[in-house]
């Protein structure tokens, strides 16, 4: 089923890039609110890409989504379902081959197969974009197969492909490594978010001239956009945000194997000490949570447990949307997060970030997000939840003046580089 929301885009169109011809793209992101659950970061990267391409003359976007109706309404796009990969690896390989054959003209798919709708959408489009994410890792083989299949469709139909804003691996087993290598080598342009991903892309054979290392695509989401509020919180001259400072906390349920009860108690104690040191209350913001205030799910479950173990007052917030999440992170006095995108949003505004890594995957991403802004506050989650946690996070707060100065020095060039990247994406899509 193809769905379209008949709203009106408020994005300006740069007709100079359009050449007078309508530009239609197919874009995939890990988007779509399912069972009321919002994942802020995944939505943010897709929204940033759609915004940027509309600004550069793209007229129509067909989104591939887990929840087409939600995505169509949220972004004023055409939306279709995913190809869909489930079951064993052997079964996913069989489906991938069927999709490849269908894109080459062999009738291997039934008319009701969602993959057939994706093939038709790419055939009717001018280009294909794989929007940002950490999906190209063996942690999530179905995502690897979904993107490999979309890349194969684009290649067989002769449509330009861009892969943007990715974290690669760090865990890629041999079969997935081959799929990712084939995908990236078929792209006209590939953007990755961390030095580790850049090195891995080189190992996979991606040509240097078609490879770029960039900040996350959503780093400046909403900045300067009236829909996000004045400045979207990116005013580095206001001393950290609002007149009532707060410590923002975003914690994933993923604890990397640490014992839950002990970790909850340890984090509560650490956050109490941080609140005392900063002189501001804690606000918990879920980046994966329910849009229904009556339902506690995802990050909200851990947030409630930690809040209940604290002695200091703390507030539990709802997820909201990507733009409001970005503004909230940029306005904090300090951020404590084991989630990735709170760090992406906050670092651009010079907010000191204590980034809590639960495993190699989260460490790679968090070092990338903070490193672009000369921050080095990535701390193992176990350390943050230990007796030394308060001092470790306190040292990050104590460096706040130099942190903000570094962000101020980097910001203008970073925004220029972000715009230049999206210019390259638009140019590559036009061939």
Confirm if 335 and 323 have CB atoms less than 8 A apart. Answer: no
Average pLDDT over residues 322-346: 98
Summarised one tens digit per residue, pLDDT across range 148-166 is: 999 999 999 999 999 999 9
Q: For 263-312, what is each residue's pLDDT tens digit?
A: 999 999 999 999 999 999 999 999 999 999 999 999 999 999 999 999 99
- Does a cis peptide bond (omega within 30 degrees of 0) precede residue 300? no
Residue scoring higher pLDDT (417 or 12): 417
**What is the arithmetic mean of pLDDT over 32-52?**
98
The CATH number of the domain holding residue 328 is 3.40.50.2000
Domain residue limits at 271: 230-411
Max CA-CA distance within the chain? 66
Q: Which residues pair with 355 in a beta bridge?
A: 337, 378
Residue bearing the bigger pLDDT, 403 or 228: 403
| Residues paired with 288 in a beta bridge | 39
Residue 14 lies in a domain: yes
Q: Is residue 395 part of a domain?
A: yes
Element (H, E) at 128: strand 127-130
In this structure, the answer to whether residues 160 and 294 fall within a common structural domain is: no
Residues 382 and 255 in one domain: yes
pLDDT of the residue at 1: 53
The predicted pLDDT at position 2 comes to 52
The verdict on 168 and 248 lying in the same domain is no
Instruction: Tell me: do 86 and 208 sit in the same domain.
Output: yes
| Residue pair 353/379 in contact by the 8 Å Cβ criterion | no
Same domain, 123 and 252: no
In a domain, 135, yes or no: yes
Q: Of all residues in the chain, what percent carry a pLDDT higher than 90?
A: 89
Tell me which of 3-17, 151-165, 186-200, 351-365 is least confident: 3-17
Pair of tokens at residue 230: 């004045």
| 114 pLDDT more than 70 | yes
pLDDT range class, residue 228, cuts 50, 70, 90: low
DSSP-assigned states of every residue in 358-372:
-SHHHHHHHHHHHHT
Residues 159 and 258 grouped into a single domain? no
* pLDDT at site 111: 81
Please check whether residue 70 lies inside any domain of the structure.
Answer: yes
Asked if 294 and 198 sit in the same domain, the reply is no
CA–CA dist 82, 102 (Å, integer) = 16
Q: Is residue 418 part of a domain?
A: no
CATH number at residue 91: 3.40.50.11930
pTM recorded for the entire structure: 0.93
Residue 221 lies in a domain: no
pLDDT band at 6; cut points 50, 70, 90: very low
* C-alpha distances in Å from residue 420, one per residue of 166, 308, 398, 428: 17, 46, 34, 12
Give residues with Cβ within 8 angstroms of 178, minimum separation 6: none
- Are 242 and 139 found together in one domain? no
- The two three-digit tokens of residue 236, written as one number: 């580095």
**Domain co-membership, 196 together with 326:** no
* DSSP conformational letter for 226: G
């Amino acid at each position: 089923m193809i769905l379209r929301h008949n709203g009106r885009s408020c994005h300006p169109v740069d007709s100079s890039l359009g050449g007078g011809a309508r530009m239609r793209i197919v874009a995939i992101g890990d988007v779509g609110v399912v069972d009321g659950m919002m994942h802020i970061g995944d939505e943010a990267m897709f929204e940033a890409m759609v915004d940027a391409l509309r600004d550069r003359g793209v007229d129509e976007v067909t989104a591939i989504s887990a929840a087409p109706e939600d995505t169509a309404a949220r972004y004023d796009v055409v939306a279709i379902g995913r190809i869909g990969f489930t079951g064993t690896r052997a079964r996913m390989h069989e489906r991938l081959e069927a999709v490849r054959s269908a894109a080459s003209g062999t009738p291997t798919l039934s008319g009701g197969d969602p993959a057939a709708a994706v093939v038709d959408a790419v055939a009717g489009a001018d280009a294909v974009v794989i929007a940002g994410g950490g999906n190209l890792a063996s942690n999530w083989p179905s995502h690897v197969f979904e993107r490999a299949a979309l890349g194969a469709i684009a290649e067989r139909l002769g449509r330009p492909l861009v892969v943007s804003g990715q974290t690669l691996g760090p865990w890629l087993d041999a079969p997935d490594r081959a799929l990712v290598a084939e995908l990236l080598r078929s792209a006209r342009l590939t953007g990755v978010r961390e030095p580790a991903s850049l090195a891995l892309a080189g190992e996979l054979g991606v040509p240097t001239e078609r490879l770029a290392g960039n900040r996350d695509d959503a780093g400046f989401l909403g900045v300067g956009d009236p829909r996000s509020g004045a400045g979207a919180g990116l005013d580095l001259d206001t001393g950290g945000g609002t007149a009532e400072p707060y410590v923002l906390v975003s914690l994933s349920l993923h604890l990397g194997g640490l014992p839950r009860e002990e970790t909850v108690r340890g984090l509560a104690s650490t956050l109490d000490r941080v609140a005392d040191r900063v002189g501001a209350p804690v606000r918990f913001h879920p980046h994966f949570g329910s849009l229904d205030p009556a339902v506690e799910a995802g990050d909200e479950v851990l947030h409630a447990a930690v809040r209940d173990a604290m002695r200091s007052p703390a507030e539990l917030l709802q997820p909201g949307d990507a733009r409001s999440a970005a503004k909230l992170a940029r306005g904090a006095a300090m951020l404590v997060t084991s989630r990735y995108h709170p760090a992406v949003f906050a670092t651009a505004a010079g907010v000191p970030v204590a980034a809590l890594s639960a495993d190699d995957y989260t460490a790679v991403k968090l070092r990338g997000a903070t490193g672009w802004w000369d921050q080095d506050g990535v701390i193992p989650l176990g350390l943050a939840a230990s007796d030394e946690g308060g001092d470790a996070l306190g040292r990050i707060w104590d460096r706040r003046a130099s942190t903000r100065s570094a962000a101020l020095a980097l910001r203008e060039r970073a925004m220029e580089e972000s715009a230049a990247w999206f210019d390259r994406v638009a140019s590559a899509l036009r061939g």
